[in-house]
């Protein structure tokens, strides 16, 4: 074999190629360039150049054993691998200038390891390391490290800013039928990132339905319980902006390797990737690298991925590898629970009638529910009034007008029957049982008050009865209200419940 650095490194690559998958070989080994081959101090030193410090971190953590065995096989027991790492220096006048950091000689195996160096956060858009101050160096000459791939003064472990909002937790997430599947899957993922079949995990749904809360809860749980070491939450817009900056400053390798280093990657609102071909291509390769190494990927979108315009088919197919779960607008019980939790968190005293009033009229999403509550509190503070149903109707008049509900006869029948605990079919039947007759008359009474239907139309909805039966029912209810206080309370309670739907 020719004794040139190119020939030696080519022989090493042939061995490495047989021991790693194609994607890993292309990503981590093809960019390495042989620099020199020297013999001194009983050692044969092959020096190779790496594009950035991220390559060094990754090779040391994942391929140290393979590289050591490969060098020994090609160069013999005296063979040693040295790195030259290019560190970029930003110069406003001249652009980026390459600075080399060389490896020390391979130390004896008995040399004790140095104390762990201090670290600082590193992000893909952080300023590049310069040789003067950002690299932490001991005042005295540091001991020679035992690991032949360790570089004195270079950060050993990258600290990544997770960008998580600590308020988004599973404890604060209100579960209901509208989001139960998504929440259960999210918790399972948080407990074992990358170890479930839910990889990737994609949650989708309309605006304000708790997607961001849920996916950040995964990250916060993993961070608190140490189920993932390196966590990164990023919006698709931020990811795209970082990628564009990396292109502008010729730092694509550093950008790519930063994200491939993440154990739990959470990307919000991926619908904004639509139409951005270069961003999708880069994300595609990062996705593959993370998935192949068992790292967890969590995504969110405002619609099913297949409905997002401009998303490439190869990305769509990968989204389907794991689990896609949707979140729906909250049902009544969930809306009530959300309002109670929010009021409790903010120290606001709300009566059940006020909570039910808001929950009945603001139905679209969590965000509008919280907005309605804050609006009500602001009105109460400004007018120095206690929060009651009258103030709620006044403060939320505009919202209620927009979401005004026109009650149907069927809905009124349902509400009355639920109150009296009977089946709706019974009040439409011919039965003359006293309790059924009374419920039927009450339902007719409220249909006359809360709908625009004629007496004839109302009678037809109650088993084909005529308008005179409806008139008699209304008179019977009014008469009984005057003589029976308990019955009057029943009517007022029902009137309140029905009014929550109609105003």
Of 326, 344, 361, which closes a domain? 326
Report the alpha-carbon distance of residue 45 to residue 15 in Å, rounded: 18
Same-domain status, 416 and 321: no
Indicate the pLDDT class of residue 122, thresholds 50, 70 and 90.
very low
- Residue 19, both tokens: 């021991």
Residue 438 within any structural domain of the chain:
yes
pLDDT of res. 103: 40
Q: Is the domain of 337 the same as that of 310?
A: no
Is 212 flagged in the annotation as binding?
Answer: yes
| pLDDT in the model for residue 157 | 47
Percent of the chain with pLDDT over 90: 35
User: 296 and 249 in one domain?
Assistant: yes
**Res 453 pLDDT > 60:** yes
Kindly report each contact of residues 349-355 with a partner whose C-beta sits within 8 Å and lies 24 or more positions away, as own/partner.
349/387, 350/387, 351/387, 351/388, 351/389, 353/388, 353/389, 353/496, 354/387, 354/388, 354/389, 354/392
Per-residue pLDDT of 391-433, as tens digits, reads 888 888 877 654 455 688 999 999 999 999 999 999 999 888 9
State how far the Cα of 470 lies from the Cα of 441, in Å rounded to an integer: 8
Residue 145 pLDDT > 60: no
pLDDT at residue 64, rounded to an integer: 86
CB 467 within 8 A of CB 454: yes
Structural domain for 72, as ranges: 5-102
CA distances from 212 to 205, 236, 257, 307, 367 (A): 11, 12, 25, 20, 12
CB–CB of 389/351 below 8 Å? yes
Instruction: Please tell me whether residues 188 and 313 are part of one structural domain.
Output: yes
Give a yes or no: residue 132 inside a domain.
no
Residue 39 has pLDDT above 80, yes or no: yes
**424/457 same-domain check:** yes
% of the chain surpassing 70 pLDDT:
82
Residue 491 neighbours by CB under 8 Å, 6+ apart: 442, 445, 477, 481
246-262 burial: b if 16+ Cβ within 10 Å, else e = beebebebbbbbbbbbb
Number of domains making up the chain:
4
Q: Is residue 33 a known part of a binding site? A: no
Indicate whether 214 and 319 sit together in one domain. Answer: yes
Q: Which of the two residues, 93 and 243, has the higher pLDDT score?
A: 243
* Closest listed residue to residue 6, CA positions, set 38, 50, 36: 36
Do 197 and 309 share a domain, yes or no? yes
Same domain, 305 and 351: no
Exposed, middle or buried, 211 (CB in 10 Å: 0-12/13-18/19+)? buried
Which residue bears the tokens 């399972």?
A: 188
Would you place residue 226 in the very low, low, confident or very high pLDDT band (cuts 50, 70, 90)? Answer: very high
Residue where a domain stops, chosen among 326, 344, 360: 326
Q: Binding residue per annotation — 45?
A: no
Each residue of 318-355: pLDDT tens digit?
Answer: 888 888 998 988 888 888 888 988 888 878 888 888 88
Residues 126-143 as b/e (b if ≥16 CB within 10 A, e otherwise) read eebbeeeeebeeeeeeee
73 annotated ligand binder:
no
Residue 183 CA to residue 164 CA, distance in Å, equals: 18
**pTM surpassing 0.75?**
no
Q: Are 259 and 122 in contact (CB under 8 A)?
A: no
Mean pLDDT of the chain: 80
At residue 154 the predicted structure's pLDDT band, cuts being 50, 70 and 90, is: very low
List the single range of 66-70, 392-396, 474-478 with lowest mean pLDDT: 392-396
Where are the alpha helices (H) located in 250-307, listed in sequence order? Answer: 252-260, 277-292
Classify the phi-psi angles of 129: left when phi > 0, otherwise alpha if psi is within -120 to 50, otherwise beta.
beta
């Amino acid at each position: 074999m020719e004794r040139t650095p190119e020939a030696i490194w080519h022989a090493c690559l042939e061995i490495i190629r047989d021991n790693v998958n194609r994607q890993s070989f292309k990503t981590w080994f093809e960019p390495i360039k042989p620099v020199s081959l020297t013999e001194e101090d009983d050692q044969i030193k092959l020096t190779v150049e790496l594009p950035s410090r991220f390559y060094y971190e990754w090779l040391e953590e994942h391929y140290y054993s393979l590289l050591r065995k490969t060098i020994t096989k090609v160069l013999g027991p005296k063979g040693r691998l040295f790195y030259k790492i290019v560190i970029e220096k930003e110069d406003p006048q001249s652009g980026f200038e390459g600075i080399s950091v060389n490896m020390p000689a391979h130390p004896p195996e008995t040399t004790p390891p140095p104390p762990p160096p201090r670290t600082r956060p590193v992000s893909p858009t952080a300023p590049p390391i310069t040789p003067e101050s950002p690299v932490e160096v001991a005042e005295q000459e540091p001991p020679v490290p035992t690991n032949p791939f360790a570089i004195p003064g270079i950060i050993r472990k990258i600290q990544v800013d997770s960008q998580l909002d600590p308020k988004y937790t599973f404890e604060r997430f209100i579960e209901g039928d509208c989001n139960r599947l998504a929440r259960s899957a999210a918790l399972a993922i948080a407990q074992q990132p990358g170890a479930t079949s839910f990889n990737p995990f994609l949650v989708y749904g309309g605006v304000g339905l708790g997607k961001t809360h849920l996916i950040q809860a995964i990250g916060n749980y993993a961070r608190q319980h140490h189920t993932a070491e390196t966590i990164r939450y990023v919006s698709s817009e931020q990811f795209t902006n970082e990628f564009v900056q990396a292109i502008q400053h010729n730092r694509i390798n550093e950008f790519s390797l930063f994200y491939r280093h993440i154990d739990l990657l959470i990307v919000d609102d991926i619908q904004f990737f639509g139409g951005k071909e270069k961003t999708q291509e880069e994300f595609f390769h990062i996705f593959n690298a993370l998935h192949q190494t068992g790292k967890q990927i969590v995504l969110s979108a405002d619609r099913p991925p297949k409905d997002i315009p401009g998303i490439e088919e190869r990305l769509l197919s990968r989204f389907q590898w794991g689990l896609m779960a949707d979140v729906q607008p909250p049902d009544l019980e969930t809306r009530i629970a959300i309002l109670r939790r929010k009021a409790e968190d903010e120290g606001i005293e709300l009566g059940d009638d006020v909570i039910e009033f808001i929950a009945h009229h603001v139905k679209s999403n969590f965000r509008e529910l919280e907005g309605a509550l804050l609006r009500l509190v602001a009105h109460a503070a400004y007018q120095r009034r206690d929060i009651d149903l009258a103030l709620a109707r006044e403060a939320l008049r505009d919202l209620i007008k927009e979401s005004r509900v026109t009650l149907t006869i069927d809905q009124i029948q349902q509400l009355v029957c639920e109150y009296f605990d009977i089946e709706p079919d019974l009040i439409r039947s011919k039965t003359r049982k006293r309790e059924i007759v009374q419920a039927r008359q009450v339902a007719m009474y409220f249909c006359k008050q809360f709908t625009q239907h004629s007496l004839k139309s109302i009678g037809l909805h109650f088993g084909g009865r005529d308008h005179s039966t409806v008139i008699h029912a209304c008179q019977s209810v009014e008469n009984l209200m005057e003589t029976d206080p308990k019955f009057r309370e029943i009517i007022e309670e029902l009137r309140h419940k029905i009014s929550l739907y109609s105003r």
